[in-house]
Amino acid sequence: MKQPSLIPPTYDDIAAAARRLDGAAHRTPVLTSRQADAIAGAHLFFKAENFQRIGAFKFRGAFNAIAQLDASQRRAGVLAYSSGNHAQAIALAASLEGIPATIVMPEDAPTSKMEATRGYCAEIVTYDRYREDRMAVADKLAHERGLTLIPPYDHPDVIAGQGTAAKELFEEIGELDTLLVCLGGGGLTAGCALAAQALSPHCRVIAVEPEAGNDGQRSLSEGRIVHIEAPRTLADGAATTHLGDYTFPIIQRLVSEIVTVSDQALVETMRFFASRMKITVEPTGCLAAAAVLQGVVPVKGQRVGILISGGNVDMPRFAALLAGNSVEL
């Protein structure tokens, strides 16, 4: 991997990422639903990254970054800090490339997530999230063991990898009027916006974040990266505290608007996906669709792309949410 310098990724990097991912990542399906079209009064095209390897788009960026490591970086191994989809993405991508992976996770992370990550042969190092800072733990490990840290969103190779999701969507269904993307730290949004600019230049790109954590929206309106406290929301994959130094300028340049949706809207969208489209989508993965199905973004008569970002939700939690019961945040 190239040393991070603030040289932003371009569409060429997305095209190169697509070549690396060919045969390693799934080319996920694009779904349509007459019922969803009727609700929105538009033609909706859902890019279903819940069917991606590890159940979320994060495999794209992780693999694209890891595939570019040099021989000595490969020998030493990679490091990630995450308890969510990025951890599993790094663990799987590293194991496919025969590279050791270390994942830093809070010691009280859900057992299902720890087991999934361990299942890909990654070493898990735990820390006490009330008393230790995960960045400090990760930096120390990286330094002591010579590991390469792969960040979850703020890295050019990660952004380029995520952009391949939108590249596939445009290649399959042609130009769009609007593309909606789920927004956490902005890796997916930045990559998809670069793909849209190259492949469908008149397409407006709208990012969607949880109401409880609208740092992206505030960053766009204030013209600087706004930091917030970790938000409490069902959209755990988008519960980030700030956009990145790479992702923010791309978003500022190419995203027309950032909107928010409530947790209630996420649950209703999850129920729509399960009952009408027969698919399991995690709450974070519902952000973009919720903005259209709940009428937050008017799209009447348009051709609209919607990124479904992932489908990893524990089944008891999924069942509780569908039943309308409250769950722990």
Ligand X SMILES: *Cc1c(COP(=O)(O)O)cnc(C)c1O
285 binds ligand X (CB under 6 A): yes
Q: Establish whether 221 is a catalytic residue.
A: no
- Candidates 188, 206, 208, 299: give the one binding ligand X (CB under 6 A): 188
163 binds ligand X (CB under 6 A): no
CA distances from 1 to 11, 80, 167, 273 (A): 18, 15, 22, 38
284 binds ligand X (CB under 6 A): yes
186 binds ligand X (CB under 6 A): yes
Asked if 264 and 294 count as a contact pair (C-beta separation under 8 A), the reply is: no
* Range list of H helices, 151-244: 156-173, 187-199, 215-222
9 binds ligand X (CB under 6 A): no
Asked if 26 and 52 count as a contact pair (C-beta separation under 8 A), the reply is: yes
238 binds ligand X (CB under 6 A): yes
Look up residue 22 and give its DSSP letter: B
- Candidates 48, 56, 192, 286: give the one binding ligand X (CB under 6 A): 56
Nearer of residues 6 and 38 to ligand X, judged by Cβ: 6
Asked if 204 and 180 count as a contact pair (C-beta separation under 8 A), the reply is: no
Nearer of residues 41 and 119 to ligand X, judged by Cβ: 119
- Count of residues touching ligand X (by CB under 6 A): 23
| CB half-sphere exposure, 215, CA atoms < 13 A | 22
Q: Phi, psi at residue 142, to the nearest 5°?
A: -60, -45
Nearer of residues 98 and 218 to ligand X, judged by Cβ: 218
Q: Establish whether 219 is a catalytic residue.
A: no
182 binds ligand X (CB under 6 A): yes
Q: Phi, psi at residue 286, to the nearest 5°?
A: -90, -10
List interacting residues with ligand X (CB under 6 A). 56, 58, 84-85, 152-153, 162, 182-189, 237-238, 240, 282, 284-285, 309-310
Residues designated catalytic: 58, 83
